[in-house]
Amino acid sequence: MGQPVSVTQQPSATPGRVRFELNRSLTGQGHERYTSAVASRTGKPSDVLANRFFETGTVSAVHVYGNMITVDVKPGSSSDSLIKVVEDLYQYWTPGKVPPSEEELMAQAPKSEVTAAPSADGSPSAGVVDSRIPAALLARSQAALAKARAKQG
């Protein structure tokens, strides 16, 4: 399950370097250069891809620009398996992998702080509010709800 990435592998004029052209942009207009695995600077697709390249043990450097990826392969290593790394970038479940249960997913979800808020109409669900909601947005939402209920009679 996920989105397959269409990739074309092209040789480079420089020995030990391989280029990949994708059907989607990974960095927009920015250049990203990696000489080692990163501690996921921002979790961007280019960071994730670079980490996966370095995990193979065959890569010494990665450069990503838009939809072009340039990979420097370590001397004596093969670049044959690298195209699969790019193709599977957005694949989340592969055949044979069991998806997590609902309980496991809920355990990973961040806990939100729930606080009591003044309820205009006294309904129990309106008195519980997630503290991550900005006060101005909450007030505007409550005013619109009160107005809609007044129209309904």
18-27 tens-digit pLDDT: 999 998 888 8
Question: Higher model confidence: residue 83 or residue 117?
Answer: 83
The pLDDT of residue 148 is 93
pLDDT at 6 over 60: yes
Separation of alpha carbons 49 and 37, rounded Å: 10
Look at residues 135, 104, 103, 99 and name the one whose alpha carbon lies nearest to residue 118: 135
Evaluate whether 18 touches 73 at the Cβ level (below 8 Å): yes
- For the segment(s) 2-95, the CATH number from 3.40.50.920, 3.40.190.10, 3.30.1370.70, 3.40.50.2300 is 3.30.1370.70
pLDDT at 125 over 70: no
Residue 47 sits at φ, ψ, to 5 deg, of -65, -45
Q: How far is CA 16 from CA 36, 61, 81, in A?
A: 17, 11, 14
pLDDT at 136 over 80: yes
What average pLDDT does this structure show over 142-148?
92
- For the chain, which residues make up each domain, given as ranges? 2-95, 114-152
Question: Higher model confidence: residue 131 or residue 128?
Answer: 131
pLDDT at 124 over 50: no
Paired sense of beta strands 7-11 and 59-65, if any: unpaired
pLDDT at 91 over 80: no
Question: Confidence band (pLDDT; 50, 70, 90) for 39?
Answer: low
Give me the percent of the chain exceeding a pLDDT of 90. 18
pLDDT at 101 over 70: yes
The pLDDT of residue 120 is 54
